[in-house]
Amino acid sequence: MLIAITYHEDFGKRGFSVLKERIEPSFEKLMESGLVDGDDVQVFKARPAPLDLVKQAHTEAHMANMESDPYREVAILSAGSVMMAAEMVAEGLARRAFAYTGTAGHHASRGSCWGFCYFNDVAVTIIRLRQMGLQRFLIVDVDPHFGDGTRDFFKDDADVFHINMHSGTGEDHDSIKNNYDIGLTFGGSNEQFLSALKSGLELARNFDFQMAFVIFGHDSHQDDYGGFNLTFEAYPRMTQLIMEAVGDRGLIFVLSGGSCVHVAKRVIPDVISVLSGRWPA
């Protein structure tokens, strides 16, 4: 069944300065890869998220602060990209999806934001999915920065299991509220990363979710700006592990941190190749 990619050229043109340079080259590489030549992987043009849903997620004060922000429009479009991807999966039109974005979302709390984030794309999308009747979600945040905004939204929501990998130390599992933090000390290797991911997925094994989101920051690559030290081999393995855990349920990859063009040009097509079942190409 279909793998949907949601994309808009504004992500590369008007996205956050650190994040936008990778967008067009990685998308071009994907177009050249042959992955989208058949019917099973298709690109859809992202539409802005409905403003009323963004307003439901965030406080009035935050919405007012964002009013004059130069990244406001592209942030709403980014949330719309994630929402469109998730709606297609929820409606059975696609089995899995990869959502491009021009701003990130996991540092956006209800009432504040930082770190290239403005609105919490996944939180806005979950509001929409709950309107559609879905209730329980798994969020796997593999971006090396702590997903504090996403945690703000879901810390007390036991229907959202939040696996939060970050560059730090320690491990913390709240089995009542379904939050799991796992720190990889600065420079976490492929093996440390994949083993931490396995631990998180194992804890979520008995959590009965309907759809999974992956906060996919490739700033975890050793050449990129985040705190992990991963190489290219980690990303297909990561995707396979997550797919095994998610099984037949919906799976949405959400583009998050990362600035290196050469990293994005390789890891994005690689991840989509695994999602489509073509890996190794």
| Residue 218 interacts with Zn ion (CB under 5 A): yes or no | no
| Residue 145 interacts with Zn ion (CB under 5 A): yes or no | yes
CB of 148 to Zn ion, least distance (A): 11
- Cα–Cα dist 145/110, whole Å: 18
CA 141 and chain centroid, separation:
7
CB of 107 to Zn ion, least distance (A): 8
| Residue 105 interacts with Zn ion (CB under 5 A): yes or no | no
One DSSP character per residue, 43-72 reads: EEE--PPPHHHHHHHS-HHHHHHHTT-TTH
Residue positions counted in the chain:
281
- Pick from 257, 259, 273, 276: which binds Zn ion (CB under 5 A)? 257
- Cα–Cα dist 80/215, whole Å: 15
CB of 110 to Zn ion, least distance (A): 20
Binding to Zn ion (CB under 5 A) within 223-242 occurs at 226
The Cβ-side half-sphere exposure at 134, using a 13 Å CA radius, reads 22
| Residue 143 interacts with Zn ion (CB under 5 A): yes or no | yes
Bridge partners (DSSP) of residue 181 are 164, 172
Whichever of 44 and 216 has its CB closer to Zn ion, that residue is: 216
Q: Per DSSP, which regions of 151-216 are E strands? A: 160-167, 171-174, 179-184, 211-216
CB of 214 to Zn ion, least distance (A): 13
CB of 193 to Zn ion, least distance (A): 14
| Residue 148 interacts with Zn ion (CB under 5 A): yes or no | no
Where does this chain touch Zn ion (CB under 5 A) — which range of 16-24, 54-62, 177-185, 210-218? 210-218
Please give the residue ranges that form the binding site for Zn ion (CB under 5 A).
143, 145, 217, 219, 226, 257
